[in-house]
């Protein structure tokens, strides 16, 4: 595609030069010959400062919001109202608008996005729809195993989102399921996706370091609902009333009036049984997962898949074969009659409370939790509440690291301890090294006890100060269990 064609598609004035454009990026080090380079002004740096580097690597054009000084390279320059929006729109056009060839489900909310996304993926595949996935855990093409982006793509940007959608379509995909985080929505990473249905899980305190306050956080997540022609909304979430702005259905696992309801929920050793009431009738349903809250995620996924045209009866049948999500209430087998060990991503006070409450109901003995809190610029206001929740709901809490980044770990641990002490709790210990914390917690546990390893889930790195370490929480848990023999 040539520059003039791109400018026409984006309704921008085209410069006199008309080079061929083969791709787009906002990172000068990722430029390949023929790429468009989008100069984004960030909080610390301005992408225009890297224009010369982009040109040296073969960039054919610069897009930006304006530059008062002469560019240090002889490339055509296209001024745009928003550089991030241009990055997303350019990526979509260059990939041929792949989302328009697919039925696209978007999932947003504070907790439950990943589980709901994987359920929707499984349900659509169970009724014969080749479906792909883009989630925080990784991405999948139709009928392919989970893959991870290269390490330098810590968060998929708009070009990676569009390239993944193109790969899903090229692999014969009929549908795609995407997690839409507040960052992805705020930074226009998913701006150019043509959604078909949006799922809203729920909203609780998270990422306020980035958004500032809850109303701003909500406003960014609401964008997914605003941009979708149809929404699946959680009737159990108080924010939902502000989301009824277009065609929608509601769901409830807590007895509220809704289009999709679960009742008679039974927490069994092998999973969750419940009665589903839907617009298509009433069905007996079974979900092979731990955690009563996962019924809500299942309702959302069922409603979205049904809206796309899948028969509800077939979707209910497919739900019974769902294999779960890596790092989401993932059971790690213990030796013989040893403790039950669960790996989960719960890293906010509400999600930790849900996880511990769920496990308490199915634990015969002691409940032990290993928990840390993120450092760096992440919301520090949740550290003390995490300490309070952990010590209130578990018999023993082991405070440790999560991803301390450039924040002194001691500062994080002090806040978690403060939360416990202000609640009058002393049932905790501090083991700063997470690997040792896991071993310590499993050694404390006996037969009939449950150990929850919370916060990391499926993540494959641990950020400590200025180093990033490879990480596998499940493997560490298994090694600690093996050491009990």
- Going by the annotation, the residues of the binding site are 109-115, 154-155, 181, 189
- Of the candidates 483, 450, 461, the one whose C-alpha atom is nearest the C-alpha of residue 332 is 450
- Of the candidates 244, 193, 182, the one whose C-alpha atom is nearest the C-alpha of residue 216 is 182
Cα dihedral value 38, 40, 45, 50, nearest 10: 10
Query: For the chain, first and last CA: distance in Å?
Result: 63
- Name every residue whose Cβ is closer than 8 Å to that of residue 27 and which is 6 or more positions away in sequence: none
Cα distance between residue 113 and residue 299, in whole Å:
13
Cα distance between residue 473 and residue 462, in whole Å:
10
Tell me the C-alpha to C-alpha distance, in Å, between residue 290 and each of 204, 329, 391.
22, 6, 21
| Contact by Cβ (8 Å): 416, 373 | yes
DSSP label of 191: T
Structure token pair of residue 458: 């499926």
Residues flagged as binding site for ATP = 109-115
Cα distance between residue 137 and residue 216, in whole Å:
26
Q: Where are the alpha helices (DSSP H) in 75-212?
A: 83-94, 113-126, 158-170, 182-186, 208-211
Cα distance between residue 480 and residue 335, in whole Å:
10
């Amino acid at each position: 595609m040539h520059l003039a064609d791109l400018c026409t598609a984006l309704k921008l004035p085209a410069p006199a030069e008309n080079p061929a454009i083969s791709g787009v990026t906002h990172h000068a080090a990722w430029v390949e010959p023929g790429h468009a380079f989008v100069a984004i002004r960030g909080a610390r740096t301005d992408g225009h400062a890297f224009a010369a580097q982009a040109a040296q690597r073969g960039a054919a054009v610069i897009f930006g919001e304006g530059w008062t000084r002469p560019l240090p390279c002889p490339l055509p320059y296209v001024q745009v109202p928003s550089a991030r929006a241009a990055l997303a729109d350019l990526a979509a056009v260059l990939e041929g608008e792949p989302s328009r060839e697919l039925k696209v489900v978007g999932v947003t909310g504070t907790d439950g996005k990943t589980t709901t996304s994987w359920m929707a993926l499984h349900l659509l595949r169970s009724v014969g729809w080749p479906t792909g996935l883009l989630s925080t855990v990784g991405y999948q093409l139709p009928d392919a195993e989970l893959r991870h982006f290269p390490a330098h793509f810590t968060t998929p940007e708009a070009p990676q989102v569009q390239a993944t959608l193109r790969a899903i379509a090229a692999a014969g995909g009929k549908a795609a399921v995407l997690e839409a985080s507040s960052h992805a929505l705020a930074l226009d990473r998913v701006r150019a996706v043509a959604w078909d249905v949006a799922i809203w899980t729920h909203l609780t305190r998270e990422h306020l370091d980035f958004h500032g306050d809850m109303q701003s956080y909500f406003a960014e997540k609401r964008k997914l609902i605003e941009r979708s022609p149809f929404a699946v909304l959680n009737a159990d979430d108080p924010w939902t009333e502000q989301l009824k702005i277009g065609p929608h259905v509601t769901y409830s696992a807590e007895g509220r009036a809704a289009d999709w309801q679960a009742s008679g929920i039974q927490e069994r050793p092998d999973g969750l049984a419940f009665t589903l009431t839907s617009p298509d009738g009433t069905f007996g349903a079974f979900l092979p997962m731990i955690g009563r809250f996962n019924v809500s995620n299942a309702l959302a996924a069922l409603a979205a898949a049904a809206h796309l045209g899948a028969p509800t009866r077939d979707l209910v049948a497919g739900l019974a074969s769902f294999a779960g999500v890596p790092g989401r209430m993932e059971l790690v087998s213990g030796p013989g009659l040893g403790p039950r060990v669960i790996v989960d991503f719960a890293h906010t006070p509400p999600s930790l409370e849900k996880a511990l409450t769920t496990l308490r109901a199915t634990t015969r003995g002691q409940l032990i939790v290993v928990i840390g809190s993120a450092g760096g610029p992440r919301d520090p206001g949740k550290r003390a509440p995490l300490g309070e929740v952990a010590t209130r709901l578990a018999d023993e809490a082991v405070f440790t690291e999560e991803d301390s980044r450039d924040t002194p770990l001691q500062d994080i641990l002090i806040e978690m301890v403060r939360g416990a002490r202000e609640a009058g709790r002393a049932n905790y210990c501090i083991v700063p090294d997470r690997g040792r914390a896991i071993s310590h917690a499993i050694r404390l546990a006996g037969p009939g006890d449950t150990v929850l390893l919370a916060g990391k889930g499926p993540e494959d790195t641990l950020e400590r100060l200025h180093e990033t370490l490879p990480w596998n929480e499940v493997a560490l848990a298994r090694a600690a269990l093996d050491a009990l023999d």
